[in-house]
Structure 1
Amino acid sequence: MSHATTERTGTRRLKVLLPPLGVAAVTCSAFVVAAVVDPNEPGHYPTCPFLWVTGLYCPGCGTLRTMHALAHLDPVAALGLNPLLVVMLPILLFWWGRWVVRAWRGRSMSTAVPHPAWLWAFIVVVMVYWVVRNLPFGAFLAP
């Protein structure tokens, strides 16, 4: 293989890796900010608009504090703040890793939409989580 061909292949691989690496850079930056700027201290971050308007927790309430706890290696506290996020993180990391591997091998990510049953199941899980964390018996899910 000639030097020019190797160089083109390397450039092509870098181009296809840019999107997943960009997502990783943005995510890591947000993670670092949440790790350094304590969301448990008032005044650092705005209040959740849904919580502010309704007084109820949305599915994302507690996410910043969860990320802060994970950054400080406290998974028990993170699980207590937003268990749905903690459960979803390994799944998200798997899909991101799959994206990187496929990009590195020169294969595009499948753009096929998952079976509708999976999408509906996910929506139902999020909606049930949203409702239950606002009920008295689901207080353990509240941040």
Structure 2
Amino acid sequence: MPPTVCPTPDGTPARVPDAAPSPPPAPDAPGRLRRIAVPAGVFAAVAGAFAYVGAVDPNEGGHYPVCPLLRLTGVLCPGCGGLRSAHAFITGDLGAALSANAIATVGYVVFATVWVLWLVRSWRGRPLRLALAPAHWWAVGAVLAVFTVVRNLPFGSALAP
């Protein structure tokens, strides 16, 4: 209800405030929990996958399939060594993780950073917008292609798992 205007003895209008001030808005706890449900679900899935790879060592044969590209052609793809890298990363051996697959190890850190940004923005009620131009995607593809070629050449054997 809008405030009422009454005349004063000198003829100027006076404002009469509402009877009670409005209470402050209630915290949006259920809305916040709903907004972070998807980032939390993604975290649970990734944490579960990393926990499995941490528990089941990919360095022991028979637990994971061999890369089809490596099996058919003998060429290491950009993902070869990724499971060994994840296992070393989860067990705290950063040197072995970088040695198994440097691109994957950098990817874990990039994913964690983007996930934290996503969680914070979801908590605040703002969408996460990562607008990558086509040039950025071409750059990512070029880095992966160069990484793949170099790790398959004799002088790039340090990048091979």
**Equivalent residue number for residue 30 of structure 2:** 11
Counterparts of 1:50-129 in structure 2, within 5 Å, are: 50-110=69-129, 113-129=131-147
Q: Deviations over 1:90-143 (max 9, x none)?
A: 222111111000000001111x53122221111100111111111111111111
Give 1:42's match in structure 2, choosing from 57, 61, 79.
Answer: 61
Alignment RMSD = 1.6
Counterparts of 1:122-141 in structure 2, within 5 Å, are: 122-141=140-159
Q: Deviations over 1:44-83 (max 9, x none)?
A: 1111122112111110111111111112211111110001
Relative contact order, CA 8 A, sep 6+: which one is greater?
1
Distance of 1:125 and 1:133 partners within structure 2: 12
Gaps of 5+ in 1: none
Determine which structure has the larger helix proportion and give its number. Answer: 1
Q: TM-score scaled to structure 2, two decimals?
A: 0.80
* 3-state SS of 2:126 partner: coil
Distance of 1:16 and 1:54 partners within structure 2: 46
Larger radius of gyration: 2
Following superposition, the deviation at residue 39 of structure 1 comes to 0.4
Distance of 1:73 and 1:64 partners within structure 2: 14
Determine which structure has the larger strand proportion and give its number. Answer: 2
Distance of 2:131 and 2:73 partners within structure 1: 34
Asked whether the equivalents of residues 77 and 148 of structure 2 are also in contact (C-alpha less than 8 Å), the reply is: yes
Q: TM-score scaled to structure 1, two decimals?
A: 0.90
Runs of 4+ residues deviating >4 angstroms:
none
Following superposition, the deviation at residue 2 of structure 1 comes to 7.8
